[in-house]
Every structure is written in C-alpha cells, then in structure tokens.
Amino acid sequence: MSQTFDLFWSFRSPYSYLLTPRIVDLCRDHDVICNVRIVYPIAVRHADFFAQADPLWAPYLVKDTYRTAEFLGLPYRWPRPDPVVMDPATRTYPAAQPHIHRLSHLGVAAAEQGRGLAFIDQVSALIWNGHTDNWHEGNHLANAAARADLDLADLDAKIAADPAHYISQVETNQADQRKRGHYGVPLMVLNGEPFFGQDRFDQLKWRLEQKAVL
C-alpha cells in the first residue's frame, strides 16, 4: 500500500529547490506519494519579515545555500529575476507580486492534475540552477511545464477562469502548514509528524524505513 506524505513548498525557497531532486528519487524508487502543497514565501506573507531580521541572517543563508548545493552536486545561483519583487530602499515587499503569485497558482494547478512534484522539479530547476536568465520570459516556463507533461497555456487558462480558487488553495495550504507544526519550507509531514528543512530528509526516510515502506 502506498505511503503518502505532504510537502509544503515555495518557489522562492532555495532549500525547497535543493530538496526536490531527492523527493523525486524517493517517489520514483519506492511506493511513496508526495502530496505537493504550495505556499507563498514568508516575504509575501509577512512583507516586513526580512527588514526586521537579524543582519546575520541573509549572509549566512547565502553561504549555506551555496555550500549545500555544492555538497549535493546541484547547480545553483540566486534567480534572475528573483521570484519575489522587493523594494530595495525599505527591504519590504509590495503587494503586487507578478512572478510568485503566478508561479504559486501554477503549482496548485499542476498538483490538482496529479503532476505537482514533476512541475516543481522542472520549474525550480529552471529558476534556481543558474543556467537561465529571465526565466519568466519567452518559452522557458512553457518548456519546463512540458517536461512535466503539462501545458502551460492550459494551466494559465484554468487560473484565469477562477483565480479565487487558486488563492484559496494556497491560503488553505498555509493554514494547514501551521497546523502541522511549522511555518517554514520545505516542510515534509508524514502521518502528522513534521520534518522541517531539506536537512531532515534523511530522517523522513528513516521514519519510512521504520514503517517498512522503504
């Protein structure tokens, strides 16, 4: 019998990107199903979050994400453009967020078609692997969606027909994320037990082994 776990995940999170290939391998090699739950990044949920953060937070994030990518053998660079638009003068984030809102709603639409994991795998690589500037232009997103066996125009059309539904789904995911015990991403939840952070993946596997799933 398949074992399902929830994955609360954000397109702006480098750690979400760095985790995703391992989740893909896990689900490919074992009878495990990942239920992708897209959330908005903390910068969108709390626009002044980074303005109030300790000044050591951002430099360590940069060092750690590059180190983690090197350790995992994954290509990595901060996206160009950033999926979240920031006001550099105030280090706050305006309500209008054309990239992250579209990406998040596309992720929800893909998950509803049963292709959520494939979609976040392809699109996060496009955004974060450093090979593509202006990932939001031209055919880049359409090609990534196609690699996930999805049609970008079809996903966009579904969202345009009922935008409130996709906003509501993200908000539901965010509420459920907190109910599961954390607010950050990536958050894996197996049978109600939360595993926060890409560095908890091995503990998730250990728990699955205990349940004789792996």
The residues carrying an active-site annotation are 13
The identity of residue 1, as a single letter, is: M
Tokens linked to 163: 């935008």
64 secondary structure, DSSP code: H
Helix 140-147 crosses helix 152-161 at what angle (to 10 degrees)?
100
Report which secondary-structure segment, H or E, holds 6: strand 3-9
Q: Are 69 and 76 in contact (CB under 8 A)?
A: yes
Neighbours of 184 (CB within 10 A): 17
Q: End-to-end CA distance of the chain, in Å?
A: 12
Which stretches of 96-162 are assigned E, i.e. beta strand?
Answer: none
